[in-house]
Chain A
Amino acid sequence: MTGAAPLLSVQRVTYRYPGAPGDALHDVSLEARAGEFHAVLGPNGSGKTTLVRVALGLLAPGTGTAELAGRAAAVWSRRDLARVVGVVAQREDNLFPQQVRETVLLGRYPHLSFWGAERAADRAAVTRALERCDAVALADRWIWTLSGGEYQRVRLARALAQEPSLLVLDEPTASLDVRHEMEMFELVRTLVDRHGLAVVMITHHVNLAARFADRVLLLADGRTAAQGAPGAVLSRETVERVFAWPVAIAPFDGRPQMIPLRQPKEST
Chain B
Amino acid sequence: MMRWLGLAALVAVALLSAVVLGPAHVALGDLTSSEIVRSLRVPRALLALLVGGSLGVAGASLQALVRNPLADPFLLGLSGGAGLGAVLAIALHVAGPWALPLAAFAGALGAMALVYRLGLVGGAQLDPRVLLLAGVAVGAFSGAITTAIVSLAEAADLRNAFLWLWGGLSGASWDTVLVMAVYIPLPLIVLYAEARPLDLLALGEEPATHLGADVEPLKRRVYVAASMLTAAAVAVSGVIGFVGLIVPHITRLVWGHRHRALFPAAFFGGGALLLFADTAARVTVAPRELPVGIVTALVGVPLFAVLLRRWGAGGGGGRG
Interface set of A (CB-CB < 8 Å, partner B): 56, 58, 77-79, 81-83, 85-87, 89, 91-98, 102-103, 106-107, 109-110, 112, 114, 142-144, 146, 151, 158, 162
Interface set of B (CB-CB < 8 Å, partner A): 67, 69, 193, 196-197, 199-200, 202-204, 206-207, 209-214, 257-258, 315-320
Per CB-CB distance, the 3 closest pairs between chain A and chain B, nearest first, are A82-B212, A143-B320, A144-B318
A95's partner among B210, B212, B258, B319 (CB-CB below 8 A) is B319
Tell me whether B212 and A142 are in contact (CB under 8 A): no
> How many residue pairs, one in A and one in B, have C-beta atoms under 8 Å apart?
86
| Inter-chain contacts of B200 with A (CB < 8 A) | 106, 109
| Inter-chain contacts of B315 with A (CB < 8 A) | 97, 142
| Inter-chain contacts of A143 with B (CB < 8 A) | 320
A1 CA to B91 CA, complexed, in Å: 77
B317 to chain A, nearest CB (A): 4
A79 CA to B213 CA, complexed, in Å: 6
Tell me whether B210 and A89 are in contact (CB under 8 A): yes
Tell me whether B199 and A106 are in contact (CB under 8 A): yes
| Inter-chain contacts of A144 with B (CB < 8 A) | 316-320
Tell me whether B213 and A93 are in contact (CB under 8 A): no
Tell me whether A97 and B316 are in contact (CB under 8 A): yes
Tell me whether B316 and A87 are in contact (CB under 8 A): no
A81 CA to B257 CA, complexed, in Å: 26
| Inter-chain contacts of B257 with A (CB < 8 A) | 95-98
A162 CA to B213 CA, complexed, in Å: 13
Tell me whether B211 and A107 are in contact (CB under 8 A): yes
The answer to whether A103 and B320 touch (CB under 8 A), given A93-B203, A97-B257, is yes
A137 to chain B, nearest CB (A): 17
A81 CA to B203 CA, complexed, in Å: 18
| Inter-chain contacts of B213 with A (CB < 8 A) | 78-79, 109
A232 CA to B315 CA, complexed, in Å: 53
A176 CA to B292 CA, complexed, in Å: 53
30 A–B contacts, CB within 8 A, in A order: A79-B212, A79-B213, A79-B214, A83-B212, A85-B210, A87-B210, A89-B206, A89-B210, A92-B206, A92-B207, A93-B67, A93-B204, A94-B202, A94-B204, A94-B319, A96-B199, A96-B202, A97-B316, A98-B257, A103-B320, A106-B199, A109-B197, A109-B212, A110-B212, A112-B196, A142-B315, A144-B320, A146-B320, A151-B320, A162-B211
What residue of chain A has the Cβ atom nearest to residue B193's Cβ? A114
| Inter-chain contacts of A151 with B (CB < 8 A) | 320
A82's partner among B211, B318, B319 (CB-CB below 8 A) is B211
| Inter-chain contacts of B317 with A (CB < 8 A) | 97, 144
| Inter-chain contacts of A94 with B (CB < 8 A) | 202-204, 319-320
B55 to chain A, nearest CB (A): 21
What residue of chain B has the Cβ atom nearest to residue A83's Cβ? B212
A235 CA to B196 CA, complexed, in Å: 49
| Inter-chain contacts of A110 with B (CB < 8 A) | 211-212
A216 to chain B, nearest CB (A): 24
| Inter-chain contacts of B203 with A (CB < 8 A) | 92-95, 106
B196's partner among A56, A93, A109 (CB-CB below 8 A) is A109
A239 CA to B191 CA, complexed, in Å: 52
Task: With A79-B212, A82-B210, A98-B257 given, name 5 new contacts (CB 8 A).
Answer: A82-B212, A86-B210, A89-B206, A109-B213, A112-B196
B204 to chain A, nearest CB (A): 5
The answer to whether A97 and B211 touch (CB under 8 A), given A89-B206, A92-B203, A112-B196, is no
Most buried by A among B67, B257, B317, B319: B319
A125 CA to B318 CA, complexed, in Å: 27
| Inter-chain contacts of A95 with B (CB < 8 A) | 67, 69, 202-203, 257, 319
What residue of chain B has the Cβ atom nearest to residue A90's Cβ? B206
A95 CA to B316 CA, complexed, in Å: 13
Most buried by A among B200, B316, B320: B320
